[in-house]
Amino acid sequence: MKSVTNEYLSVTTLTKYLKSKFDLDPYLKKVYLTGEISNFRLRQNSSQYFSLKDDDSKINVIMFRNQFNKVKFVPEEGMKVLVTGRISLYEKTGNYQFYIEQMEPDGIGQLYKAYEQLKEKLSQENLFNTNKQNLIKFPKRIAVVTSESGAVIKDIITTVRRRYPIAQIVLFPAKVQGESAAEDITRQINRVNEIGDFDTLIIGRGGGSIEDLWPFNEEIVARSIYASKVPIISSVGHETDTTIADLVADVRAATPTAAAELAVPVLNDVILEISKNKNRLSNSLKVILNQYQKRLDNTKSSYIFTQPERLYESYIQQIDTYNEKMKNIIKILLQNKLNNLVTLENKLAINSPKYLIEEQKNRLNNTKKNLNRNIKVLYSSKKELFLNNINSLEYLSPLKIMSRGYTYASKNGKVVQGISKINTGDDIKLNFSDGDVDAKILKINPKGDS
C-alpha cells in the first residue's frame, strides 16, 4: 500500500519547480514592460530594489548594479519608464519579481532626461551664471582639447594662423566620443591648468547625435570647466547643439572656426588700429603742445615778467602797515608789563619775607614752650592714673582675696559652684593662694539643715 506522506511536496521542491517554470518559459525570458516607479530609494554603488505599478497591479523589480550603472538618468518616484528584462522567482521568499536589464523614461529618451536632470542640478548650484572669466584679448599661447585626427584642430589652426599667426597653439589630444571620453577630456583640462602658462583654452568637437556629444554632458567635464583658471571657449557640435559644457564655459562658440575667431583678433586689424591710435596720439600731442605754447607766450608777456617789481608793490605796502601796528602793540605791551612790575615791587616791599620769618620764629618758640609744659602735665596725670589702676587691680585680684583666708573647691579641673555639683565620697581639691590640698566629701550640709 502506497504511503500517504509520499504524495506531499516540500516547500523547497514546489518553489524550485515553479522557478524552473518561470526560467524555462520562452515568453518570460524577454519581457517589455511599462509602469510607474514606486518605493524607490537610490542605493549608491549597489543593486536597486523597487516596484513598478499601474492603476491595478504592482510587481517587485530588481536591477543589478552593472545594469544600473549604464542608466544615464536618475530614476525618481512616480516616473513612468520603459524596461526590458525577465521574470523569475526568488526561492527564499517564494515571490516572483522582474529583473530589469535596460530602462529608459517613457516618452523621452534617457539621455535627454539625464541632460535635463544634470542641467537643473548645476543650474541650482549657479554653475552657469557665476565664475565667468573674460578672454585675453591678445593671447600668446592657446591650448586646444579635442581629437588629434578630427577637423576641429585643423579649422582652429587655419583660422588662428590667418588672423593672428603670432599666437602659439598647443594640442592636448583627447577622446571626444565613447565611454572613457569624459574622463579623457577632464584629464586634459586639468593638465592645461597644471601647466598654467596658457591664456585661453578651447574644447570642442564636430556635430553629431546626442549620444556622440554625450561626453560633453557629463558632470565631471562640467565641474572641471567651472574650476578652470584658464578662460575656456566651448565649441561642441553645431549652432543648434547646446551641451552642458557650453553652458558652464566662459564663452560658447557655434563652431570651431568661430571659437578660434573669438580667441584671437585679426593681426592686420590690430596693426591698423595701432597705426590709427598712433596718429591720433600724435595729433593729440600736437594740439596739447600748441595749447601749452600759447599759454607760455601769454605768461611771458604778462607784467610779472616784464615788470616783476609790480608784483611786490602791494606786499611792501602791507609790510609797512604791519610794522607800524606791531611797534604800537609792542609799546603798549611793554608799558603794561612795566606797570605790573611796579605794582609787584610795592606788594613785595609791604609783604617782606624778613618780617614774616621773625613773626613765625616767635610763634614757633611760644608753641614749643607750650608743648613742653603740656607734655609734662599730661605725663604726670597719666602716671598717677596708671598707679591708681595698678592698686585697683591688686585690690580686686583673686590671689589678694585668697591671701586673706579664702579658698575655692574644684572637681576634675572644674570649679565647684554649689553643693549640687558634688556628692558624698567625691574627691575634690581645695585651692589656696599659696597651694592646694586634696580632700574627700564626708558629709553635705545644705543651708537650713541643723
- 42: CB partners within 8 A, 6+ apart: 48, 74, 75
List CB contacts of 254: < 8 A, sequence separation 6 or more.
Answer: 235, 238, 239
Residue 4: its pLDDT value, please? 53
- DSSP class of residue 135 equals P
The C-alpha torsion from 426 through 432 and 434 to 438, rounded to 10°, is: -10
- Kindly list the distances between the CA atom of residue 245 and the CA atoms of 55, 118, 128, 160, 424, in Å, as whole numbers in the listed order: 41, 11, 10, 22, 121
- Give φ, ψ of 232 to 5 degrees: -115, 135
Task: Give the number of residues written for the chain.
Answer: 450
Q: What pLDDT shows up at residue 143?
A: 94
Digitized pLDDT (tens) for each residue of the chain, 450 residues in all: 455 556 788 888 888 888 888 888 888 888 888 888 888 888 888 899 999 988 788 899 999 999 898 887 788 887 888 889 999 888 888 888 999 998 888 765 666 777 788 888 888 888 888 788 999 999 999 999 998 888 889 999 999 999 999 999 999 999 988 888 999 999 999 999 999 899 999 998 887 767 778 888 888 999 999 999 999 999 887 666 688 888 989 999 888 888 999 999 888 777 788 888 888 998 899 899 999 988 888 877 776 666 676 667 777 778 888 888 999 999 999 999 999 998 888 887 777 777 778 888 888 888 988 999 899 889 888 888 888 888 777 777 776 777 777 787 888 888 888 888 888 888 888 888 788 888 888 888 887 654
Q: Which residues contact 44 (CB under 8 A, 6 or more apart)?
A: none
**70 strand-pairing partners:** none
Strand locations in 18-123 (E): 31-38, 48-53, 58-63, 80-90, 95-105
Does the CA dihedral 99-104-105-110 come out positive or negative? positive
* Grid cell locating 187: 584629464
Distance CA 149, CA 171 (A): 11
pLDDT at 1: 46
Distances in whole angstroms, Cα of residue 141 to Cα of each of 137, 174, 202, 225, 257: 12, 19, 11, 18, 17
Determine how many CB atoms are found less than 10 A away from the CB of residue 91.
Answer: 13
pLDDT at position 189 is 94
Pairing between strand 168-173 and 141-146? parallel
Supply the pLDDT for residue 311.
67
- Provide the grid cell at 239: 549652432
Residue whose cell numbers read 559644457: 245
CATH of domain 116-263: 3.40.50.261
Query: Can you name the CATH fold of 9-107?
Result: OB fold (Dihydrolipoamide Acetyltransferase, E2P) (2.40.50)
> CB–CB of 47/67 below 8 Å?
no
Residue 203 near residue 236, CB atoms below 8 Å: yes
405/1 Cα distance (integer angstroms): 140
Run of H or E including 204: strand 200-205
3-state SS, residue 33 = strand
Q: Which residues contact 328 (CB under 8 A, 6 or more apart)?
A: none
Task: Enter the C-alpha cell of residue 162.
Answer: 590667418
Sequence spans of domains, the chain: 9-107, 116-263, 266-301, 397-450
The answer to whether 231 and 192 are in contact (CB under 8 A) is no
31-38 and 48-53: which strand pairing? Answer: antiparallel
Dihedral sign from CA coordinates of 109, 234, 179, 207: positive
